[in-house]
Each structure stands twice: as C-alpha cells, then as structure tokens.
Structure 1
Amino acid sequence: MAPMAHLAQIALVAGLVTGGAPALAAPTTTTAHIKLDQFGYLPSMRKVAILADPQAGWNAADAYTPGTGAGQIQVRRWADDAVVLSVTAQAWKSGATHAQSGDRGWQADFSALTTPGSYYLFDTLNNVGSGRFEIGTGVYDAVLKQALRTFFYQRLNFAKVAPYADTRWADGASYERANQDRYATSRWSKGVASTARDLSGGWADAGDTNKYTTFAQEAVLLLLDAYRMNPAVFGDAFGIPESGNGLPDLLDEVKFELEFLKRMQNASGTNGLFLKVGLDTYDGEVTPPSSDARARYYLPECTSATLAGSAMFAAASVVYKGIASQATYGADLLTRAEAAWTRAKTTTANFTTFETACDDGDIKAGDADVDAAGQRSSALIAAIYLYEATAKAEYRTFVEANYNQVQPVSISWWGPYWAPLQVALLRYAGMNGVSATVSTAIRNQKAAQSGTVSITDYSAGTDLYRAHLADAEFNWGHNKTRSVAGAINLDFALFGINPANASLYQEVAQQHLHWLHGANPLGLVMLTNMGAYGAESSVSEIFHNWFRDGSAWDSAKTSPYGPPPGYLPGGPNRTYSGSVVGITSQPPQKAYKDWNAPWPENSWEITEPAIYYQAAYIQLLARLMPSGTVDTQAPTAPTTLAAAGVKATGVTLSWKASTDNVGVSSYELYNGSSLFASGLGGTSTALTSLYCGSSYAFTLKARDAAGNLSVASNAITVKTSACPSAATQVYTDSLASTWADWSWSATRNFANTTPIKVGTKSLRADLQGWGGVALRHGTGIAASATATLRFWAYSPTALPLRISVQTQDSAGETGAVTLTLAANTWTDVILTRAQLGNPNLIKRINLQLQSATAGTLYLDQLQLTK
C-alpha cells in the first residue's frame, strides 16, 4: 500500500506548485484510498473521486470504508479548511468488487464545484483527506509543458545544457564521434568510409537511443494533429532552445525530427528513406548518452520507411504551409512527400508488391519494417494529406481504391489503435471533390463506434474508475492505448458525428485523462517526477538507457535525480514476460511495478517510455485544455478576387479578407484544382513568374491556424500578355521552325501527351548515360542583359541535369548550371544571362544528364526571353 502521507509532505508539494510558502491548513493525514486527478480539474469538467477498498491484488490487505452518510464527504478549501461543498458517496454496483481493478468502491461527485482555487476532499468518518488538487483554467498548463519537453531530452546529437535543461539532467551532445551519427556507415559495409552518411539529429525512439523512420510516423502525426486540433495551447515559451522564435514550440520540436528525416531521404539518392540508425550490440551500454562511444550504423532504403516518410512530410507540409513564416519550409516538405511517393510506386510496382523483409535485426532492437498492410496504411495517410495539399486526382483515386482495405475500415472497428489514420480518414471525408459514397461510408462507420471505448460502457458504469478498456488492452504500451481511447472519443465532436452525444464523448475522454493523472487503482500519476507540478505520487523510475538502473538518475525516491519530469511509461501490462513474480497475477489495472531493472526482469515491458506513447498523451491532454474550444470552424471565403497590372510574366491579385472565429493564418491560391501558391498574407500578392501568352484560372481559399480551409473565392481568368517575339519560343507544343534538334544519346518524342504542363504536348527524351538534349538556332538569338532561359522540367526519378548554352557551334560553353530535379513534379527552371555566363548570343541550348545512369526527361514551354 502507498504509505499514509503527513500533511507537511503534501503542503511542501503545494508550496512548490504555487511558488509560495507551504499551506498550513488541511487534515491531519491523507489517504491513498481517495483517487482523483492529482493535478486537478477544469471548472466545467465532471469531477468524480473514487473511494477504493482493495479486495484483490498487491494492496488487498488495506481495508477502507468511507463515510457514506449524507454529506460525509466534503470538499474543503486548502488555505483555510473551509467546507465549500458536501456530497454523498455512492456505492458502485451495490458494493460489488470490480474485477479489473480488484477494488470495491464508492464514487463522490463534486462537479457542482466550479470556483477556481485549491482544495482537498475530506472523509468526516475516518478523518482523512486527499492530497491537494486545483480547479482552474490553467490547471494542466505546466503538465503539458513538461510532457512536451521530454522530446527535447530525447534529442540526439544535441547538448542538453542550461537554461534549457535542468542541471540535474544536463548532458553534452551524444553520438558525435567519427564513427557515429554524422558519419554512420551501412549495416552492410560497417566502417567502410564510402558508405558514411550524415544522419544526425532526430529523437531517440524510446528507452534505447536508436532512431527509426517507421516508428517516428505515429509520433509525428499525433503531434501534428494535436497542433491542428488545438493550436492555442502550444505556445512559444516551453523552455527549449527555439522558444521565442515566433513558431509554437511543438512545431519547433517536430521540425527537429523532420530535419533528421530529410537527411534519411537525402542519403538514399533515390528519394526513398533509410530505415533506421543505431547500435548493433547491447554490450557496452553507458550513461549519460554523451559518453557512449559505440559505432553507429544505418539500415539503407526500405519501402516501409519511404512510405512513412511520405506520410510525415505530406501531413507536415499542410501544417507548415498554413503558417506564413513557414510557407517555404512547407513547400519543401510537400516536394519531398511527392518524391517519396513516386519512389514507393517504383519499389512496390505501383503498390502491388510490398517489400516486407528489409530489417534483419542487426541494428538493435526494434524490427522496424512493417507488413504489407502497414505499408498500405502509410500510403493511405500519405495520399490523404497529399490530396489535401495538392488536390491532385492521383491521390484521391488511390484513397478511394484503398481506404477499405486496411484497418480500421476493413474490420469495421475504430478501436484505440490506428489513431493517425482514423483522423486522416475523417478529414478526407470532408475534403472537396471526395466521392459522396466514400465520405458517407467513412462517417457512418465512425458513427457506429459507441462501444467498448466510448459512451456505452461509460453510461453503463462498467468501470469503477470510469474509464473502461477491455482486459486485452492492458498490454505492452497500455498508457498509449488509453490516451488514444480518450482522443478517439473527441473525434466525434471534432468531425460532427453523433452530435447529440457530444458532451458524453467529452466526459469519456476526460476520465481517461483523469485515470492517467492518478484516478486509478494505483493512485499513481502515469508521468515521471511530477511532484513539483502537483502530483502527490508519480512514476519515479523508467526503463531508459540514460536514467538506467544504478545510475545517478535511477530514482527520484532515493536521489535528487530520477528521470526528468513528464515521461509517460508503457503502463500496466498483464502480458508481462519477465522474471518478477506476481505482476501477471494482479488484476489488469494493477499489473504495474515502478522499477527499471534490465534482463531478466524486463522492466521495459512496463516502464519504458516511447515517443509515440508520449505523443498520444500530449494530444489527449492538449485537446481537453481550453483554447476556448477545439476550432472546427472554417474561415469565410475570400471575396472580390481581382487582377490588375497584367504583364507577360506577372500580375497583381487582390481580394477582400476572410473572417474566422479565431483568425485567418494565410491564404492559398489555386490554378484550376492545383495549388499554385500558399502561405499568402494580407489582401494582395504580386505574381512575377507566370508564363507569357498563357491563361490561368485563379481561385483563393483562406486557412486558419487549426488547418480549417474555406471554400473558394470567386474564380477569375488571367491571360498574360503575348511573348515578346516568336524567336523567343523554342518549344511549346512543337519545336519552333527556326530551331533544330541536335541531341545525342537520346530517344526524342516532340509530341508526347503525358505528362504535360502547358498546352497539349511535351518533349520527352529517354537519355542514355551522359546523354543530352541539344537544340540549335539557325542564326542565334541576341541576349540582352535581362535575357533569361526558362522551361518546365519533369522526371519520374530525381535527375541530375546540367544546363549550358553556346554562342557558336564550334565555341565552348559560356556557362553551365547543374541542378537535381525532384522526382515526379514539374520544376519551373529560370536561368538568367549571368548564370549562363553572360553570352551576347545564344545559338545552342544543351540539357545534359549528369550521370552514367539512364533517365527520362520531359520538357515543356521552353522560352528564351531577350
């Protein structure tokens, strides 16, 4: 049994929370038998304490019967013991024992108390009270901050120093040696310098310090969704190095992981992503991480990783492009997402054959490739967010052909798993252009899910602790499952499903949070070291290489350290397989031990944290915090979109601003159904890179900080002025009559029909190694100081392209530019006269493949502007 805590101990904690002197008024003793949210409650929340009398499990010998007479449970003000409310404890199920917890109990509902302040519950019969709890709108602010800050402590290749890290948890940058993350070599060629890649950055996955692309997917998506669902709670002062830069710290933290994932993509050279980076042995473990000198290796490209990368980049692009200062960053993420998507189409034969055996277990410990169903799920998430970002029919077609092939739709059960996909599907059901049949099918399936994680069991009072999950869900990672169980109830309200029950869904979600905050049979806050933030009893040990058994950071109970505040361990696990006797014989809700011993005790099955556990909890907490309310209201449409100052290559657009219940963050410009520009601010924009003699069909949409997108503005057609002269046209739908084809080592088709960018044709060149497209003018084109060479270029794979011009057939090049085309996207190439070596005359244009590997190049709308 948790020991009785004397008032002085509780009061000291209270002093730390408030920053003032310990309070003096309160009961003589507190009891662990009164279970409630140890941090407290928002004023509007349902507030129910559980008064527990253990009958089975580790504390079965501890008898407790509360006062059950009218008004015998009091809510008292902490500062002066004043009784502010008296309630009557109600027996649960007429005194039955709740098998899942091993407790019989009573429930005391004090929801009528809504006045902000500090309080405790008092049992007048036994003269014992609860610990202190708060009521107020900011009761969870510090909790969210500490929970998010654990990602900072999970950063690799990054020093944790003051003022960003408490001195108790300071450490230098880890894995910075010559054989580590900045110079990691291939698992298949260990130590071979030619395979070295810079794979620095990113988060350690869990208690180990390996980094996984696939395992990061859930964490990144959960955090991005948390931001989209309640952006107001994520401020810019969480105490990380990026605090104060104008971007919410959650998005700064996600950026740290995205930068690592970009390196994993860059390193492949194919736009695919490497699978993981880490150690190949359990031997030689040391703490802190900066002292670990073991060599680090990567597992190369794997389709599982490529699809996970595409999903993360696509979802992140929507968020970052919606913030004016991040529009360029978001656009780069979108390019990467589409490139990874194209690569995955190649490695899966257009999603028909999945690669499922690319992880051989050499890098310890997680088996990081996923099965075909998992890869299809990643592809589905990627396609949904790519469609949201681009409105391209390809992605919509994929979603509607595959959404019912994977869980949850394939099994018609939207349980506490697959959270990012559930949200993505519900978002997709509300997007423009989606099939009404598919949209209805998705929403109807969600509407039917009011069963074991939702209002049916809640209303029936199935669980003494008011947060029912089935016995089977008390397994490895239970606390993540519970966090998701709460969040998926909130999805009903977010997406307007079963609206009559919205308040009940909200209550269910809240009670799952209260369970994690101590309203559970353990009386334990499922976060580490939270005594300074209002918890009387919180987790003191986790299985983590840094805070390992026997280290200076072993336990907050026996040293000034313990792990940093805010880590969420796996939680109760009735399937535990280690050597500690008695855990699996506990009632499921008590199958927990607060310890961190290694093999054979295998504490990692219960107390190891993970970035995806953490992200699930953060999302649940953030969604329940007041912003005021989760923002689901889209801005109004922009009006009176108009064009002025039309030129050959530019135009100025203006409009009347949209309005929003929270605020418009940016505008998105569309040409037809394709996104043309994003992150636009104000009420006007000057476009300067249009094509001469071309028509554009523009509409505008407004986006708010929660990601809600308005309907489109009025449509306008803009036709740019005619090109200066026919001599500037090299290729439109055909090669101009004054130009000749002098290409080499290339098969050419000047009337290709797909893909095209402008008009009805494009130029396709299938290039052999080092082959090139060369186009020659009969007499040459005079080039003024403002002359430019401009064209659209496209390749199914990332293509290294060298561009040069010649003044005469026999003359050498006046300049050369090399660039890498991103895969599967049209690139608008504009080169100035200076970039081309300042030629006075241009007679030949050469576009050469800078590789011995063959490739396919598409060109469209090639122009020379004098």
Structure 2
Amino acid sequence: MREAQLRNLAVNQIGYPADGRKSFVCIGQGGPFEVVDSAGGEAVYRGETAQPRFDEAAGITLCTGDFSALTLPGSYFIRLGGENSARFVIAESPYAELQRGLLKAFYFFRCGCDLEEEFAGPWQHKACHLADGTVYDEPGRKLDSVGGWHDAGDYGKYTGPGAKAVADLLLAYELYPQAFREPLPLPESGGGMPDVLHECRYELDWLFKMQDERTGGAFHKLTTKQFPGLDVMPEDDLADLYFLPVSATATGCFAGVMAMAARVYRPFDGEFADRCLAAAERAWRWLADHPDAPGFTNPGDVGTGEYGDNLDLDERYWAAAELFRTTGDEAYHREFLVLAAQQFPKYDLGWANMGAYGTIAYLFGDRAKADPALYGRLLDGLIAEAERFAAISASDSYGISLTPTDYSWGSNMVVLNRAMLLLLAYHLGGSKKYEVIALDHIHYLIGRNALDISYVTGFGDRPVMHPHHRPSVGDKVAQPVPGLVAGGPNRGLNDDCMLEHLQGMPPAQCFIDDEQSYAGNEVTIYWNSPAVFVVSHFV
C-alpha cells in the first residue's frame, strides 16, 4: 500500500516538452512560485498562481501555476510556500523512454514463451500455459492455445480486448512511424521490421488460433475456469484452459484487426498479410451468416472476465470499414453504409464500444472512394466529440476530459482513449488545441493529478508500486514490472480494499496503491495501448 505523504504541488514527474504548455497544480490558495534549477539551486523563473477554485472531482481547492515561458532544457522543481515539487525535466523530447517502457510492457504480458533475463531483466520467468485448451462446449476437442498476451493482472486471453490493443498499436505505427525507429530490443528485433510490429505479431499469431477452423467465427476467450491466486506465477498456473464459445463481438473484432494487420504488414511480409486478410474475410462470412448471434455470457462454472457485450453493430461496422479500406472492395463499402445508418456509438474507443475504430478507418482511408455525405457526417461527429472533451478539460483543474461521474473502473483508459481521439481529430484537420489538451492528459497520468502519483509503474518519482498484477506480486522482485498503466480512480469502489479505505473520498481520489485493489490498481493491455499511441505523438 502506498504510504508516501501527499505533496501539495503536482507536476508531470517526468517532464515537459520545451516548446509546450507547462503548468503545475497546487492544493490551497497558491501564491508566488519559483522554478528552481535542480543542479545549481537557483531560481530561473518566477510567477504567480492563478486564482484558486474548488474542483468538484478532486474535492479540494486548487490553483495552477504556468511556466510555459521557460524553455531552457534542464532539470527543475517548483518551490512555493517553502514546499518543493518533484523534479522534472524540460527537454525537446522528454517522453522517449516512457514510450519505450509502455511498449515494452507488452513483452512482459507475453504468454507461452520464456521471458529471458537478456530482455526481461529481473522480471524473467519460464514459459507458461503450454497445454492445449478444451473447446468448452465440445469437451472432447482440444486445440493449440499457446501464445498471445495475458490480458491483465490475471492470465486470461481475450479476443476483443486483444484486438483493441493491437489496433491502438498499429494506429500508432501508421501515424507515428518515426517514434518506433529504435529497437526495444525484443528477441525478434531486426529484419527490417520495427519492434512494435514484431510485438503485435506475437498477439496476432495467437489470434489466428482463436478462429474456429470449422466455422470461421472467433472464440470469445481462452481462460481457466477461475482466476488463480494473486501470488501465482504464470508458469505455476496449471489449471485446465478452455476456449469459450464463439461470439459475434469477438468475431467482428477479429475481422477488423486482421484486415488492418493485412494492410500494415504488407510492406514487410506479403505472405503474412495474405494470411491476415484471408482470416478477416472468413470471419466476415461468419458474421454475414449469423446476423442475430446472441451476446456472450459466462457459463455458470466460469468466473474469469466475461467481457460481455450484447451489441455487435459496432464490431461489424469496424470490420466492414477495415475490409473496405484494405481491399477497396465496394461490397464491403455497401455493408459499411448500411451499418453506418444504424444507431450505436461511433466515436468510442473502448473494448465494449469499438465504433470509433470503424469511423477512423473510413476517415483515414481513400477519401475519393468514400461516400461524401457520410464522410462529412462522420468527420463532423468526431470533431464534435473532440470539442466536447475540450470543453470538459477547460473546466477541470488538471486539464483532463473527465467529469466527476467519469471516474469509473478503468478511468485511466477513459483518459487515454479521449486523448487519443483528440489527437485523431487534430490529424483530421481539427484545432491545434486538441494536441495541447492531449498533452495535459499525459501530465495527469504521470503525476499532475489529485494524488501526486504516477500511474505508470517504474516512471516518475512516485509511481504505482503495488499493482494488482500476478507476476509483480509473485516474482519476489521489489519493483513491479515496469511500464504498466494502472486503472486509476474509481468512484464505484468496486473491490473490498477500496471499500475499506476510500469511503467518502471524492472521485479523483478514489484510488489506493494496493495489490488487492483490482478495481482501481489492476493493469491491462488495452490501458497500455492507447498510452503508447498518445505518448508516441509527442516523441
């Protein structure tokens, strides 16, 4: 459990881009402040905080201090009223190491291979989950289950969430290839392909195994029937594995991400790209043959993450958009137009609502082939959503797009998904302010928040130390696996640890750095993936 005393001055504990907006947040009434050179101890900038205001989400009176005029690279801290902030840097590109750490986290999520000391350091462990899995509703049928990423703090592997994570990383590579030039390294590094694509391929190779060879549909998930104990290392989790039944949502996600991968990998490996496209098209045929497939529900004897979702229009919409963008086939365009006329969220980037991925694929595709009216409506809608986030951010003391009610389970995913959408809107011709606001979301993640904590393990001077993450608990290494994004404040207090320690706390303070807090301090691949996208923009 976190025991560090809360500082009254919250900064990005890594630093600020030299040419960007720079500010800190102070609890209380504020006043004159200094920016102090860490090396020489001399004040290099002086200013006055803005007028204090009560922040509803944080439940405290706050004021901000702006020092954007300071652009000289160096190491600094804020001094105000005899108190010092965390040290931070001002640099041309302060987030390169953070970006690499967020991406390297996916290597630590790998299942089915040795994590070797050369690449994993003290967090090495042996290969895990090597047994075949049983098809749940066909007990005599066993299939190869090895590979992919563990989903979260547990060892389940899920088609939909895995597809979202890969999609975020592939989008990051498509928009910011220069951010991935340096190897991490990984065991596969080299061969002319960037490591982000090597890492995504590790998951994609497993996703192929989630397509039922008999039907073309995608199994919803691959897990044991119940979660193992919190201190169980992956190689010691020997319970039987099960392929849970095919679902339309999983199949739609599978088709979407495979069509996307076919496009991205084409310059590097044509044979692999062909395989991805064939898998996507077969999954699409399953979707076409099952227009009324029911949503997924855990069987009564299965207690692992359900990822239940009764609406599959958004996944079908994404699949049609990616297949159209990749192939140019007008048949997929016609299907997309029909789906686009239906009512469902088209600008959400979460695992349950995948509509934004379809919208993005259409807007970033060949505009000459798009329907002009639909293209305009989708673009206007995405910009309107960015404007909504900008308005929320303007009223928030920390500059992020969460209202008090948005501090729910996985609130940091919401922070990062919204920052991601702001950047996508910026790329599509939206206001420069969207980029500035997205950077404020990074500042929040790395310490400029109500708890003066970095929500990324291993980064910042007060990072999360006790994530709900089985390898970090069970490996006997003092430091947790680095580069993991914690879920963040959750006003729902959905676990016993939160209920015991956080009753009555305001939404933005409903977080405890305790390994028992799975509803606030767990980690997942699809919280890391939008973080990679957003930080890559600023590398």
Taking structure 2 as the reference length, the TM-score comes to 0.93
The CA RMSD over aligned residues, in Å, is: 2.2
1:218 correspondence with 2:164:
yes
Are 1:428 and 2:366 an aligned pair? no
Alignment of 1:184 with 2:133, yes or no, is yes
* Residue correspondence of structure 1 range 438-837 to structure 2 within 5 A: 438-454=374-390, 456-459=391-394, 462-497=395-430, 502-530=431-459, 535-548=460-473, 551-553=474-476, 561-579=478-496, 580-597=499-516, 603-625=517-539
4+ residue segments displaced more than 6 Å: none
Determine helix, strand or coil for the equivalent of 1:208: coil
For 2:210, what is the secondary structure of its paired residue? helix
The reply on whether 1:396 has 2:333 as its aligned counterpart is yes
Shift of the alpha carbon at 1:588? Answer: 0.6
Whole-Å Cα distance in 2 between the matches of residues 365 and 37 of structure 1?
36
1:218/1:283 CA distance change after superposition, 3 Å: closer
Question: Letter of the aligned partner of 1:566 in structure 2?
Answer: G
Match of 1:170 among 119, 124, 146: 124
Give the alignment partner of residue 100 of structure 1, picking from 29, 32, 57: 57
CA contact (8 A) 2:154 2:470 kept: yes
Match of 2:150 in 1: 204
Aligned to 1:853: none
Asked which structure has the greater RCO (Cα within 8 Å, sep 6+), the reply is 2
Post-superposition shift, 1:128?
Answer: 2.7
Q: Among residues 12, 16, 36, which one is paired with 1:76 in the alignment? A: 36
Alpha-carbon separation, structure 2, partners of 1:88 and 1:285: 48
Structure 1 residues 493 and 297: CA distance shift in structure 2, 3 A: same
Q: Would the aligned equivalents of 1:175 and 1:292 in 2 still touch at CA under 8 Å?
A: yes
Q: Give the Cα separation in 2 of the matches to 1:394 and 1:541.
A: 50
CA displacement, residues 668-705 of structure 1 (integer Å, 9 cap, x when unaligned): xxxxxxxxxxxxxxxxxxxxxxxxxxxxxxxxxxxxxx
The letter for the 1-side match of 2:58 is S
The alpha-carbon distance between structure 1 residues 84 and 2, as it changes in their structure 2 partners (threshold 3 A), is farther
Following superposition, the deviation at residue 286 of structure 1 comes to 5.4
Letter in 1 for 2:278: T
Alignment partner, residue 122 of structure 1: 79
**Contact 2:325–2:361 under 8 Å retained in 1:** no
Matches within 5 A, 1:128-167: 128-167=83-122
Q: Is the 8 A contact 1:452 1:470 kept in 2?
A: no
- Does residue 327 in structure 1 map to residue 270 in structure 2? yes
- Equivalent residues of 2:472, 2:481 under 8 A apart: no
Partner-residue secondary structure (3-state), 1:448: helix
Structure with bigger helix share is 2
Distance, in Å, in 1 between the alignment partners of 2:159 and 2:384 is 34
**Partner SS for 2:79:** strand
Pick which of 576-585 and 329-338 moved more.
576-585
Taking a change above 3 Å as real, the CA distance of residues 290 and 130 of structure 1, as seen in their structure-2 partners, is: same
> Are residues 1:237 and 2:183 paired?
yes
Please give the per-residue CA displacement for 1:741-787, whole angstroms capped at 9, x wherever unaligned.
xxxxxxxxxxxxxxxxxxxxxxxxxxxxxxxxxxxxxxxxxxxxxxx
Distance in 2, matches of 1:162 and 1:40, equals: 30
Tell me how many residue pairs correspond in the alignment.
Answer: 533
Q: What is the SS of the residue equivalent to 2:432? A: helix
Q: 1:299 aligns with which of 227, 240, 244?
A: 244
Task: Name the structure 2 match of 1:111.
Answer: 68
Query: CA separation in 1, counterparts of 2:207 and 2:360?
Result: 26
Kindly state the Cα deviation for residue 417 of structure 1 after the two structures are TM-superposed: 4.8
1:48 to 20, 23, 31: 23
| Deviation (angstroms), 1:468 | 3.8
The one of 279, 289, 304 equivalent to 2:234 is 289
Partner Cα separation in structure 2 for residue 91 and residue 2 of structure 1: 31
Q: What secondary structure, in the 3-state scheme, does the structure 1 residue paired with 2:19 have?
A: coil
Against the structure 1 CA distance between its residues 52 and 367, is the aligned structure 2 distance closer, same or farther, given a 3 Å change threshold?
Answer: same
Secondary structure, in 3 states, of the residue corresponding to 2:456? strand
Q: Which has the larger radius of gyration?
A: 1
Aligned partners of 2:58 and 2:128: how far apart in 1?
A: 42
Deviations 1:132-153 (A, max 9, x none): 1111123111111111111111
Contact 1:236 1:244 in 2 (8 A): no
1:154 deviation in Å?
A: 0.9
Whether the 8 Å CA contact 1:297–1:363 is kept in 2: the answer is no
What SS is found at the alignment partner of 1:76? strand
For residues 112 and 582 of structure 1, what CA distance do their matches in structure 2 show? 41
Pick closer, same or farther for the CA change 1:175–1:3 going to 2, 3 Å.
closer
Decide whether the 8 Å contact of 2:16 with 2:94 is kept in 1: yes
Pair 584,620 (structure 1): closer, same or farther in 2 beyond 3 Å: farther
1:423 is displaced (CA, Å) by: 4.6
Give the superposition deviation at 1:292. 2.0
Q: Distance in 1 between matches of 2:259 and 2:415?
A: 27
Alpha-carbon distance in 1 for matches of 2:468, 2:375:
43
Residues 98 and 301 (structure 1 numbering): CA distance in 2 closer, same or farther, change over 3 Å? closer
Please give the per-residue CA displacement for 1:815-858, whole angstroms capped at 9, x wherever unaligned. Answer: xxxxxxxxxxxxxxxxxxxxxxxxxxxxxxxxxxxxxxxxxxxx
- The DSSP-based 3-state class of the residue aligned with 1:547 is helix
Deviation, 1:319, is 1.0
Q: CA–CA distance in 1 between the matches of 2:327 and 2:164?
A: 23
Say whether the 8 Å CA contact 1:284–1:294 is kept in structure 2.
Answer: no
State the percentage of identical aligned residues. Answer: 25
In structure 2, the partner of 1:772 is none
In the TM superposition, what is the alpha-carbon distance from 1:428 to its structure 2 partner? Answer: 1.2
CA contact (8 A) 1:318 1:330 kept: yes
Cα distance 1:105–1:303, how it changes in 2: closer, same or farther (>3 A)?
closer
- CA gap of 1:141–1:284, structure 2 versus 1, over 3 A, is closer
Q: Is the 8 A contact 1:277 1:363 kept in 2?
A: no
